[in-house]
Amino acid sequence: MSNKIVTKFGGSSLADAGQFQKVKSILLLDPNRQYVVPSAPGRRFKEDDKVTDLLYRCCRQVQAGEDFQDTFDLIAARYMDIAEELGLTVDLGAALDEVNERIAAGANEDYCASRGEYLNGLLLADYMGWRFLDSAEVIKFDQNGLLDAELTNRLMSERLADGIPTVVPGFFGSYYDGTVRTFSRGGSDITGAIVARAVNAAVYENWTDVSGFLMADPRIVDNPREISGITYMELRELSYMGASVLHEDAMFPVHKAGIPTNIRNTNNPTHPGTIISLDLPYDEAHPTITGIAGRKGFCVISIAKAMMNTELGFSRKVLSAFERYGVSIEHLPTGIDTMCVVVAGDAFAPVKDKIINRIVEATNPDTITVHDNMSIIATVGRGMVHNCGTAAKLFGAMSKAGINVRMIDQGSSELSIIVGVDDKDYEATIKAIYGAFVNQ
Ligand code: ASP
């Protein structure tokens, strides 16, 4: 492993000239920071627009036959202000004109959106005096729009092999034929992880506007503790439940390559942030749990049938009903004669009757019941396996708070305990669990 550091800066970290100055001083502080992945300029204040949103708006306006120039002028002004304040010499006017012309000519949505990162990358490269590498040349998607991870890794490592400090704009790449394609929203995180893998970085630093992850949602728990270290597997369990500071897909390239990710705060650069790594030593002084996260709005379909366990193909028949109507499954707690399928309520509602009918036809169950408005809450911790009584403590806290547990699922890795409660009990459950493990 090298000692190279790959940095990615989010939209708020590069929202104006003042933020660019902070980024430059962070980059210069450590000579190992040789590769930087910028997002598009984000919000400077609460009501501000993100440049990416403005670019999508331009595209929609062109499609609707409306004039998009006012929107485009807002975008151009964001970049021109930065360039002017920082005294940059890059020919921004020519780059903006080209984008403007292509949008006017009906460029596709992905091309429009990608220009936010592209233009910000040009500015940052000029400001740093670093090379600019167009991501469309090195990040490749196949005909189905899926990232071609191996080709991308090869192209990216070849282009960065000379060790020259480089700016690689986030969020986009291209199909094999060169047509621009973006990742889903927040996708610059993925670009950063791809670059980190390609140069075999010692660490992938993801700079944002928070000092890492918190153990619980601060809108629910007052001043939750910060998480200093978390494993990729733990984070997967948590982010999957919605606690994402980091794009979910950004974990895969670095997790696979064993490269740690460090979430850092551009506005508080001395804070060590959160380290996400493959493995972390168990620290006895640490709480048993690493974090709690959840989401509302699930639906639980419970199917019961005597002797279900002996009926060959029973689960397949149930699951294929969901597959057929395009509903993906979040959890699958089962008992000997019961099977529960947990799905997102909004995806299930439009096809509910069709799926239920199909299950009834295919499996002839004794009963089938549907509970709407359920919350799923995951309590995650690598420490669980080292401590007995974790479940007792968790359920004890819930019962003391008068919360009815509707579903329980413990991950086979002993990394998480997942509970289902009524949506109305969501906040109280998180508070009760946090209180039991942290504020003892
Ligand atoms: N600018 C893009 C977005 O707003 C991608 C990113 O910031 O990561 O989603």
Instruction: Give the start-to-end residue ranges of the domains of the chain.
Output: 5-277, 291-437
Q: In this predicted structure, what is the pLDDT of residue 36? A: 98
What percent of the chain shows pLDDT beyond 90? 84
The neighbouring-strand residues paired with 263 are: 206, 274
Give dist(CA 177, CA 145) in Å, integer: 12
Among 39, 181, 209, say which to mutate for ligand 1: greatest number of ligand atoms within 8 Å of CB.
Answer: 39
Cβ atoms of 97 and 75 closer than 8 Å: no
Give dist(CA 374, CA 426) in Å, integer: 9
Question: Does the structure show a pLDDT above 70 at 243?
Answer: no
Nearest atom within ligand 1 for CA of residue 185: 9
Superfamily of domain 291-437: VC0802-like (3.30.2130.10)
Give dist(CA 128, CA 46) in Å, integer: 28
Q: Which residue has the higher pLDDT, 239 or 422?
A: 422
Question: Span 155-160, mean pLDDT?
Answer: 98
* Closest C-alpha to ligand 1, atom 5: 186
Residues with CB under 6 A from ligand 1: 11, 39-40, 50, 52, 116, 170-171, 185-189
Nearest atom within ligand 1 for CA of residue 117: 1
pLDDT band of 331, cuts 50, 70, 90 = confident
Both tokens of 294, joined, read 């959840």
Ligand 1 centre to CA of 253 (Å) is: 18
pLDDT band of 246, cuts 50, 70, 90 = confident
Residues in the chain: 440
Element (H, E) at 162: none
The neighbouring-strand residues paired with 380 are: 291, 416
Among 185, 209, 247, say which to mutate for ligand 1: greatest number of ligand atoms within 8 Å of CB.
Answer: 185
CB-CB neighbours of 27 under 10 Å: 22
Both tokens of 421, joined, read 């409660």
The per-type count for the chain, helices as H runs and strands as E runs, is 14, 17
Q: In this predicted structure, what is the pLDDT of residue 241? A: 58
Spell out the residues 6+ positions from residue 10 whose beta carbon is closer than 8 angstroms to its own: 39, 42, 188, 206, 207, 208, 209, 266
Query: How confident is the prediction for the chain on average, in pLDDT?
Result: 94
Axis-axis angle for helices 109-128, 17-29 (nearest 10): 60
- Beta 274-277 vs 229-231: how paired, if at all? parallel
pLDDT (tens digit per residue) in 267-295: 999 999 999 999 887 776 677 899 999 99
Nearest atom within ligand 1 for CA of residue 188: 8
Cβ atoms of 36 and 9 closer than 8 Å: yes
Question: Does the structure show a pLDDT above 70 at 338?
Answer: yes
Ligand 1 centre to CA of 1 (Å) is: 29
CB-CB neighbours of 316 under 10 Å: 12
CB-CB neighbours of 175 under 10 Å: 17
Q: How far is CA 221 from CA 378, 419, 435, in A?
A: 15, 18, 9
Ligand 1 centre to CA of 50 (Å) is: 9
Give dist(CA 247, CA 7) in Å, integer: 15
Give dist(CA 138, CA 157) in Å, integer: 9
Nearest atom within ligand 1 for CA of residue 187: 8
Both tokens of 415, joined, read 């990394």
Ligand 1 centre to CA of 297 (Å) is: 26
Question: Does the structure show a pLDDT above 60 at 242?
Answer: no
Give dist(CA 302, CA 38) in Å, integer: 46
Both tokens of 383, joined, read 């420490």
Nearest atom within ligand 1 for CA of residue 191: 8
Q: Which amino acid is at 70?
A: D
Ligand 1 centre to CA of 4 (Å) is: 24
3-state class of 302 per DSSP?
A: strand
* Closest C-alpha to ligand 1, atom 8: 186
Nearest atom within ligand 1 for CA of residue 116: 1
Nearest atom within ligand 1 for CA of residue 39: 7
Ligand 1 centre to CA of 342 (Å) is: 30
DSSP 8-class letter at 412: T
Axis-axis angle for helices 92-104, 51-63 (nearest 10): 40
* Closest C-alpha to ligand 1, atom 2: 186
Among 7, 48, 49, 52, say which to mutate for ligand 1: greatest number of ligand atoms within 8 Å of CB.
Answer: 52
Superfamily of domain 5-277: Acetylglutamate kinase-like (3.40.1160.10)
Among 48, 50, 120, 249, say which to mutate for ligand 1: greatest number of ligand atoms within 8 Å of CB.
Answer: 50
